[in-house]
Amino acid sequence: MSVFSARTDFPRTWNPLARALAERRARGLPLLDLTETNPTRVGLPAPEPVLLASVEALGYAPEPQGLLSARQAVAAYLATRGARVSPEHLVLSASTSESYGWLFKLLCEPGDNVLVPAPSYPLFEYLTRLEGVETRTYRLPRAHGFGLDVDEVAAARDARTRAVLVVNPGNPTGHFLQEGELESLGALCAESGLALLSDEVFSDFAWDAEPGRVPTVAGRELPMLTFSLSGLSKVAGLPGLKLGWTHVGGPAAVRDEALARLELVADTYLPVNTPVQLALPGLLAHAPLFQAALLARVRDNRRLLLEARPSDARWDVVPAHGGWSTVLRIPLEPGEEATCLALLDEGVGVQPGYFYDFTGGAFLVLSLLPPPEVFSAALEPLVRVLATSG
């Protein structure tokens, strides 16, 4: 019998792509890295570091939900997104990942499950398993532009399902939740006693205007317990500062009970670090500058990609409306991994769709964050390698 818990028995073998990438790096070969999604490494505007330095930053105030001044700053930020919320209904944490952990503790007994979208960022499998919670997948059909299909959600439920997770907009699929989808989801959650966890970390990064888009579920009158999650990691491009927030909504009695219980969970881990909470108003004031630069970058790179695609290409750029990435649908042969390896030989790093649980075809995922000179230099080898597929 192992001394370790089964919860931490994750596979750690390297796939051929990770091995090839490590080898390339070890040999010191150059790489046009279209897997780079670290916002602090791609030349985007950063806030003044001085924001984090003050005498008060060394203080400690045991407010489990987070300092009121910091929660007021989040409420003011959400108001600029059209969501009127009370700071009393916000809980700060060290990241959205930590918020997920707290919410799974709040909602699930060991062995219960939550419904997660696929394709999606491969984060939930780890976050749930570490809490003794299982996942059941609902597919985002390509025919719906990888949008939410409530029948798929309904079909994925079982007797131990406690919550539905929605990523709005999807990562890497870039589909925003629509009013009609939220309405059907609300009815399903209310009828089945499920909570809604809405991951809105990319919701400020819309590439266009769409009628009927739901930017956030915070501040909405919904018939079920609702948690809306975001944080500095994407909103201000500062994952290293470790600050996330959760807005708790839904019918008043169950919302207040959730807040009381979350307060206890948060208190158990002690509040978020003081310097980042004190700096939060300044960091959120900087966010629009960062977001405007990021959106210009993403739009430019996507335009370069669309322009580089030959009109008779056997691959397509999957339509999307937001986020930091783009998805290519490529020929089934030679397949995702062989294509990624061929691109790596040409000095271009991209991710295969299977990292994100795409099915029903072959896909590549490209980050749109790299500087334009890196992104455009990668396009010639990309187009050339893809021309030999299929």
Is residue 63 close enough to count as binding ligand PLP by CB under 6 A? no
Please give the C-alpha separations between residue 177 and each of 56, 103, 118, 329, in angstroms, as whole numbers: 40, 21, 15, 22
Among 199, 368, 374, 386, binds ligand PLP (CB under 6 A): 199
Nearest approach, Cβ of 276 to ligand PLP (angstroms)?
Answer: 12
Q: Determine, following the binding rule CB under 6 A, whether residue 205 of this chain makes contact with ligand PLP.
A: no
Residue 301 binding ligand PLP, by CB under 6 A: no
Q: Select the residue interacting with ligand PLP from 141, 239, 282, 347 (CB under 6 A).
A: 239
- Residue of the chain from 77, 102, 121, 358 that contacts ligand PLP (CB under 6 A): 121
> Does residue 137 touch ligand PLP according to CB under 6 A?
no
Tokens 């907009």 belong to 169
Is 95 among the residues that bind ligand PLP (CB under 6 A)? yes
Q: How far apart are the C-alpha atoms of 19 and 15, rounded to whole Å?
A: 6
State the Cα–Cα distance between residues 115 and 133, nearest whole angstrom: 11
Region binding ligand PLP by CB under 6 A among candidate stretches 19-27, 92-100, 106-114, 256-264: 92-100
In one-letter notation, the amino acid at residue 325 is: S
Query: Does residue number 176 form part of the binding site for ligand PLP (CB under 6 A)?
Result: no
Closest by alpha carbon to 167, among 181, 157, 180, 156?
181
Cα Rg for the chain, rounded, in angstroms? 21
Helices (H), ranges, the chain: 16-26, 68-80, 96-107, 124-129, 150-156, 179-192, 232-235, 252-269, 274-308, 336-345, 372-387
Assess 201 for contact with ligand PLP (CB under 6 A).
Answer: yes
Do 318 and 173 meet the contact criterion of CB atoms below 8 Å apart?
yes
Question: Could you give the angle at the alpha carbon of 45 between the alpha carbons of 296 and 279, nearest 5°?
Answer: 125
Q: Say if residues 132 and 8 touch (Cβ distance below 8 Å).
A: no
Q: Which is nearer to ligand PLP, 198 or 301 (CB)?
A: 198
Phi, psi of 172 (to 5 degrees): -100, 15
DSSP 338: H
Least distance in Å: CB of 386 to ligand PLP? 26
Does residue 272 belong to the site contacting ligand PLP (CB under 6 A)?
no
Q: In the bound complex, what is the minimum distance in angstroms from residue 358's beta carbon to ligand PLP? A: 15
**Residue 168 found at the interface with ligand PLP (CB under 6 A):** no
Using rule CB under 6 A, residue 231 touches ligand PLP: yes
Please state, in angstroms and rounded to a whole number, the distance separating the CA atoms of residues 344 and 29: 10
- Rounded to a whole number of angstroms, the minimum distance from the CB of residue 95 to ligand PLP is 3
Nearest CB to ligand PLP, comparing residues 168 and 301:
168
Q: Is the C-alpha dihedral spanning 64, 65, 67, 68 positive or negative?
A: negative
- Residue 244 interacts with ligand PLP (CB under 6 A): yes or no: yes
> Does residue 173 belong to the site contacting ligand PLP (CB under 6 A)?
no
Structural contact between residues 163 and 194, judged by C-beta atoms closer than 8 angstroms? yes
If one asks whether residue 96 binds ligand PLP (CB under 6 A), the answer comes out as yes
Stretch that binds ligand PLP, among 95-103, 104-112, 176-184, 280-288 (CB under 6 A): 95-103
Q: Is 97 in the site for ligand PLP (CB under 6 A)?
A: yes
Place of tokens 């029903």: 360
Among 167, 189, 238, 365, contact with ligand PLP (rule: CB under 6 A): 167
Would you count residue 204 as binding ligand PLP (CB under 6 A)?
no
Task: Give the residues lining the site for ligand PLP (CB under 6 A).
Answer: 95-97, 121, 123, 167, 171, 199, 201, 231, 233, 239, 244
